[in-house]
Amino acid sequence: MPITMSPGQLSRSIGPLHINLDRQSYSLQMLNDFESSQENLRLRDFIDGLFRGAVVNPTEQRAAGHWSLRAAFRRSEYPDFVELTVDGRDELELARTVQAQMNAFVEQVQSGVYTNPDGETYNSVLHLGIGGSDLGPRLLHDVFSRLELPGVHGQLNIRFVANVDFHEMKAALASLNPKRTLVLIASKSFSTKETLHNAQHIFNWLDTAGPAYREKALLAATCKPGKAAEFGIPPARIFEFSETVGGRYSLWGPVSISIRLVHGNAVFDELLAGAACIDNHVLSTRSTDCVPILLALSDFYNLKVGIDSLLLSPYDSRLGMLIPYLQQLWMESLGKGVGIDGVPIPRSTCPILWGDVGTNGQHAFFQLMHQGRNASTVELVAVLKPNHSEAASHRILLSHALAQAEAFSVGRLNSPQEMADPTVNYKSCPGQRPVQMVFLDELTPYSLGALLSLWEHRTCALGAMQNINPFDQWGVELGKVIAEQIEPNLPPGENRAENPITAHLIDHFINRGR
């Protein structure tokens, strides 16, 4: 695919972010045509509906209110028409009230006013949750703990347990004291089997310290405060968020109270401010100048020509967790087979997102993209100003990012002399891969907020362009239902599994696994 852009023609900046799409293969004419296309009309309609609280998630008959978690605090940066009312309740007001509740609690813990029954301060937080109730906070902690942040950073330790695989729990508990650990149960639905099973285990663990410890240690982040209270969480420490906030879009609110506890309210507010900056950009910029929409357009055009893979490589080890986080946001949102109208879509609606940090990936799987037949977009992320003074390391790192972008795009064709000898064909790299780069001026809570908000908007925009719903995940439910049916067939139960292959596998487990 020949490149038609001239240098910088498809470079755009917003806040701390800059993108370059010059090495994409679509033409400027295609972009200009997009402004007046059906897809753009649908997209602008979607964005308008999103920020007015319209039902943009029709299969669940809901608005999508993740943005309200930042708009509630940065109200002046949003246009007046922005609102989110659900069944008469103002969800921006809810976000504001709960943020005040979180701020107050976090300050009490950090200042040592909130103590355990012995009057001792808490030194750790255990975060229980899975999927969207885990990946976002885990990413935030992973990044924040590598930044030199002012304030309370480092006062409390944090451990995450997502999986029902008990090895994970065992490893986490090994370093925690049940008398001095706050436990957050993060679950939008408060009905996720893995999380509730783990929570039950933690109740017993807290009780080993004595009955009074459990009561003071428990916190919940959920849309179902009633269920959380029934489960045994004291109502004063249930931090509610709106049903309109999808799990994979929820890191901006109460599920990240654990991050506020460890890194402080001020750091978290910076994250929200960065996210709000991108909301504002999306609301006020025409599509073909809007950074997340341009990225979604690349995805859209590449999908149309059959490129359904997206290799993401951040050239900054502090962003390693970005990949698993984005895999949920991107693929749980866009992995669909039918449009909102129920009509099957005969091609992939979502490039498979995968990758690793650069330069590590270069020495592993990049070879496949240089010379293999698989088609993929390559997206390289680089941070311009590092948080260290080793200029030589940074120069090498950035030179590799730039070199890979050039190599994937330009390739290396054999010289006329080599071409005459087919036995040296192995040297040729065809290039012509669609490559794009995303730059952050510097990695800070603000720029991270902007980057994550950019990805949310890119995800939603790609959904809207294709007329699919980026807010539901019905496919995930099937496995949960089958697991419920299978579990009683495992020991000490009797193997009566209906599916013959499953029954055979259970027999293998019974014979060899015990």
Of the chain, the end-to-end C-alpha distance in Å amounts to 56
The set of catalytic residues is 332, 363, 480
Q: Least distance (Å) from ligand F6P to the CB of residue 159?
A: 18
Name which of residues 86 to 115 contact ligand F6P (CB under 6 A).
none
Q: Which stretch binds ligand F6P (CB under 6 A): 91-99, 183-191, 264-272, 451-459?
A: 183-191
| Choices 86-94, 131-139, 155-163, 483-491 (CB under 6 A): range interacting with ligand F6P | 131-139
Q: Which is nearer to ligand F6P, 195 or 469 (CB)?
A: 195
Q: Which of residues 189-208 bind ligand F6P (CB under 6 A)?
A: 189, 192, 195
Contacts of 331 (CB under 8 A, 6+ apart): 350, 352, 353
Tell which one of 403, 476, 482, 483 touches ligand F6P (CB under 6 A): 476
Q: Which C-beta is closer to ligand F6P: that of 130 or that of 296?
A: 130
Q: Is 132 in the site for ligand F6P (CB under 6 A)?
A: yes
**181 sits near ligand F6P (criterion: CB under 6 A):** no
3-class SS shares of the chain: helix, strand, coil, % to 5? 50, 15, 35
Residue of 16, 136, 247, 355 that binds ligand F6P (CB under 6 A): 247
Listed in sequence order, the residues at least 6 apart from 356 whose beta carbon sits closer than 8 Å to its beta carbon are 313, 320, 323, 364, 365
- Count of residues that bind ligand F6P according to CB under 6 A: 14
Q: Which residues of 280-312 are buried (b: 16+ CB within 10 A; e: fewer)?
A: bbbbebebbebbbbbbbbbbbbbbeeebbbbbb
- Among residues 70, 248, 263, 281, which is the contact residue for ligand F6P, using CB under 6 A? 248
Q: Is 187 in the site for ligand F6P (CB under 6 A)?
A: yes
| DSSP-derived secondary structure for 81-139 | T---EETTEEHHHHHHHHHHHHHHHHHHHHTT-S--TTSPPP-EEEEE--GGGTHHHHH
Between 116 and 473, name the residue whose CB sits nearer to ligand F6P: 473
From 188, 237, 281, 318, residue interacting with ligand F6P (rule: CB under 6 A): 188
Give the CA angle between residues 70, 11, 375 to the nearest 5°.
95
Smallest distance from ligand F6P to CB 130, Å: 5
Segment interacting with ligand F6P (CB under 6 A) among 44-52, 188-196, 384-392, 505-513: 188-196
Q: Say what the alpha-carbon torsion angle 497, 499, 505, 511 is, to the nearest 10 degrees.
A: 30
- Taking the least distance from each CB to ligand F6P, the nearer of 57 and 473 is 473
DSSP H stretches of helix in 218-328: 225-231, 257-263, 265-284, 291-304, 322-327
Closest CA to 281 of 74, 33, 39: 74
**Which residues contact ligand F6P (rule: CB under 6 A)?**
130-133, 187-189, 192, 195, 247-248, 332, 473, 476
